Amino acid sequence: MTLGLIFHSIGIITLMITIGVILARTFHFNEDTRNVFISLIVNVGMPCIILSSILQVDINGDLLQKILLVFFLSIGINVLGIGMGYLFAIVFHKKVDRAKELAILSGLGNTGFIGIPLCAVLLGPEGALYAAMFDAGVDFTIWTVGALLLQKNRRVGLGMLRTMINPPIIAIFIGILMALSQYRPPLLIVDLFDRLAAIAAPLAMFYIGIMMMNLFQTKPARGLQISRSTLWLPIMVKLILLPVFAVLIGKTLSLHLVMLQTLLIQAAMPTLTLSSILFAKYSADEEMGVITTIFSTLAALLTIPIMIYLLNLLILQ
């Protein structure tokens, strides 16, 4: 990964977010428009990125093992981030009642909305495939460790399993089955996947920009108050410490270069966009989730190229 390509990709992301900020002034952002964006990104764009990437890669036994390894490494890295966030919250934060939320904001990243498209640009189809499996590990962690952490009456059931079955996860399994069976859809379908895959990154960035503008138009004082008291912790853990640990784990395991670079990029992603939804579901601090997501996304525009550049030097040693 060259530094120029990294800055080019981050620059494109920044411009897309700026367009989202401008778009927010042209219409009323409410629950319906929010659901339209999320539905198009999660149910159309991301599955098509996954299927398009899988159809461009020759999946054999060796690659299948690597894919599964990335999935389990993702779970381990996510849990590590949650653990560090929880520990730091207890040690450094005065309000221990927010420790669970801060732990989740520290450990779970925006690996779907931003990570998969960025890996596709920087690392090609193989990187996008690994990124999709990393994101599957994030989904698994969200609805197991994350849900259990936030629940007042902790229990595991079929409801939790159903929440982990979503279009990106289904796309991964369908794509792998097609690849292993050597079935290739008609050219019309392949071309459709390729074209729809291109909408994921722009829509995700527009959504983040719209969400930023909407929040600071309605509750700017609340945002500044939270930013002073809690933001440093999840941003430090998620954007700085976790990518370092991810690279050290990958180097220890002597992972393939593209796998290692994927772990680095995905571990360096800003806080999970869906954190506010998770918090709302379990009556946690939804506003803190939204604000942390926004500020960590802004900070990531600076930290992602720096961390990728510095840690890439370590990877290539």
- 224-236 pLDDT per residue, tens: 555 556 778 888 9
pLDDT score for 42:
75
Spatial separation of the C-alpha atoms in residues 71 and 137, rounded to whole Å: 5
- 134-157 pLDDT per residue, tens: 988 887 887 778 777 876 665 555
- The answer to whether the CB of 174 falls within 8 A of the CB of 165 is no
pLDDT score for 241:
93
Query: Where are the domains positioned within the chain?
Result: 3-315
**Pick from 34-43, 82-91, 146-155: least confident:** 146-155
**Pick from 69-73, 175-179, 193-197: least confident:** 175-179
Handedness of CA 282, 285, 286, 290 (dihedral sign): negative
Task: Examine the pLDDT at 61 and tell me if it is beyond 80.
Answer: no
Residue type, 288: M
C-alpha distances (whole Å) from 261 to each of 183, 269, 282, 300 are 29, 13, 34, 17
- The answer to whether the CB of 136 falls within 8 A of the CB of 168 is yes
Task: For the domain made up of 3-315, give the CATH fold.
Answer: Na+/H+ antiporter like fold (1.20.1530)
Q: How would DSSP label each residue in 70-132?
A: HHHHHHHHHHHHHHHHHHHHHHH-S-GGGHHHHHHHHH-B-IIIIIHHHHHHHHHHHHHHHHH
Q: Give alpha helix (H) positions in 186-240.
A: 187-197, 200-218, 220-229, 232-236
Structure tokens at 215: 């929040």
pLDDT band at 75 (very low <50, low <70, confident <90, very high): very high
| Higher-pLDDT residue of 68, 211 | 68
Spatial separation of the C-alpha atoms in residues 268 and 305, rounded to whole Å: 10
Average confidence (pLDDT) over 79-104: 82
Minimal CA–CA distance to 287: which of 227, 239, 234, 240?
Answer: 227
Classify residue 80 by its DSSP letter. Answer: H
pLDDT score for 78:
94
Q: 0.85 cut: is pTM over it? A: no
The mean predicted confidence, pLDDT, of the chain is 79
- The answer to whether the CB of 87 falls within 8 A of the CB of 68 is no
Spatial separation of the C-alpha atoms in residues 304 and 293, rounded to whole Å: 15
pLDDT band at 274 (very low <50, low <70, confident <90, very high): low
C-alpha of 301 from chain center? 14
Contacts of 79 (CB under 8 A, 6+ apart): 107, 141, 145
Contacts of 272 (CB under 8 A, 6+ apart): 104, 105, 108, 109, 110, 138, 142, 278, 293
Phi, psi angle pair for 105, to nearest 5°: -65, -30
Spatial separation of the C-alpha atoms in residues 238 and 163, rounded to whole Å: 24
pLDDT score for 239:
92
